[in-house]
Amino acid sequence: MSLKPYIRLMRFDKPIGALLLYWPTLQAILISTREHPSWRILIGFTLGTWLMRSAGCVANDMADQRFDAHVKRTADRPLANGTLRRRQAFPLLLALLASSACLLLLYDQRTAQWAIPAVLLAMSYPFMKRWTHFPQIVLGAAFSWSIPMAFAAAGQQPGAIAFSLFFLSLLWVVAYDTEYAMVDRDDDLRIGVRSTAILFGHADILIIVMLQMVYLTGMVVLAWFIHMNFLFDLLMPVVAFLFILQYRMIRGREREQCFKAFLANNRIGMVMTTAVFLGLIPF
């Protein structure tokens, strides 16, 4: 059988999710090591990001196979359209999780212990949309859990700095995943799937903007607290401008524009990570 369906199942053809997961991870690595990460941390967390994101995609599609078939954006996914069966996807999921677990051998037992919640969050996320209107918060926690893990791998006990960065990352994820959920809102209402886009209703855009403002302000305060230099602050107007562009995309609540706004968060992550890197340069 062709490998193409498996590549699509793992979203290797759409790396945006892995990138959005990687940017906060890299920020945590830079901050926890003061820009001097070991190869074990840098390579291990880079590979772990891609493997766990892929595992999350496979688990999500296995759980949502019937739902995806009724949603315009997801109807052509390999499990939804019948190209692959669950019995073919399950060994791939196990292989991805096992590969991720092997990477933990690079670190101490404490780091491995911090990895357990990451797996639980990633595997439980697909079911949250059935039980709660807050699957985006669970995704935010799953996408941000690599932050305390990075601090633990660097030999630090995750504390106020790590969890401040975790919380701010979570808010950013909720904002952009709500934009993502706005794309499917009509389909989700029809099939009974829940999301923050549905919960927020007509306040969706206002709440997204507020989350982005808190994220940006919080990152500035955190940078001040850990004594980053002025180069960090110089890039914050760029982040603010990119958020304004997103607002202009989503204000009409059109599917295509909401999806473009979601994709545009890759630029946010890239600029913010660059700002962290520059802000940690000693003068």
Domains, the chain, with CATH or none:
4-279 (1.10.357.140)
- Residue (of 95, 92, 160, 149) closest to 121 by Cα position: 149
Secondary structure (DSSP) of 31-50: HHHTT---HHHHHHHHHHHH
pLDDT number for residue 75 = 84
Identify the pLDDT of residue 102: 94
Measured CA distances, 59 to 144, 191, 283 (Å):
18, 20, 46
Q: What pLDDT score does 1 carry?
A: 56
pLDDT value, residue 267: 97
The residue ranges of the chain whose pLDDT is under 50 are none
Q: For position 113, what pLDDT does the model report?
A: 92
pLDDT for 189? 87
Closest by CA to 249, choosing from 172, 158, 175, is 175
Q: What is the largest CA-CA distance in the chain?
A: 58
Give tens-digit pLDDT for 79-138. 888 888 889 999 999 999 999 999 999 998 889 999 999 889 988 888 888 888 889 999
- Residues 93, 62: contact at Cβ < 8 Å? yes
Residues 130/64, Cβ–Cβ less than 8 Å: no
- Return the pLDDT at 219: 98
